[in-house]
Amino acid sequence: MDLEHLFNGSALSAVDAKGRLSVPSFIRGVVERRSDAKAIVIGMHEVSPCLNAYDRGYAKNLFAENERRRLIEEGSDPAAHHARARRTFGLTEEVPYDTSGRIILPAMMRRKGQIEDLALFLGVGGTFEIWNPRLALDSGDADLRDLAAWRLEEKGIAL
């Protein structure tokens, strides 16, 4: 995959009481290069307390990865495969964005990601993460903590 088709960078976005927020332009640019749909698919991250998101076309990569893992784990824990498949494909929401990049974060995703008044977008290659920046500050990842602190300070938000 070319670099122009990977999610790189970070941004902080305000979230209003109805769950409306702006998807940063660095995210929208990649989505629109990879897909004709002006929409993102949002689901739970496999291990971190955040949301994982991607464009509609990326689902085929996730299916291939799930199948690869199923074959490696075959017979050892079939329940793990089914739980992963449900999380990857069933517990997701496709969310269109308008011309200015505004979305309404679905209530279930907002609750699952513990997204309150701010959302930290973080490119991680093939996908991107959406964090409550306060949870990112409490994470075990020093670089993520530093990034969240910097983005909050940049906006003049007290830590």
Q: In angstroms, rounded to a whole number, what is the distance separating the alpha carbons of residues 12 and 153?
A: 11
CB 137 within 8 A of CB 127: no
User: How many Å separate Cα 50 from the centre of its chain?
Assistant: 7
**Single-letter code of the amino acid located at 53:** A
pLDDT digits (tens, 9 = 90+) for 64-90: 888 888 888 777 777 887 888 888 888
Domain ranges for the chain = 3-154
Would you say residue 19 has pLDDT above 90? yes
pTM above 0.85, yes or no: yes
Tokens standing for residue 121: 């977008």
pLDDT digits (tens, 9 = 90+) for 135-147: 999 999 999 999 9
Of 119, 102, 123, 131, the closest CA to residue 54 belongs to: 123
Q: Note the CATH number of domain 3-154.
A: 3.40.1550.20
Rounded to 5 degrees, φ, ψ at 37 are -80, 130
Mean pLDDT over 120-148 rounds to 97
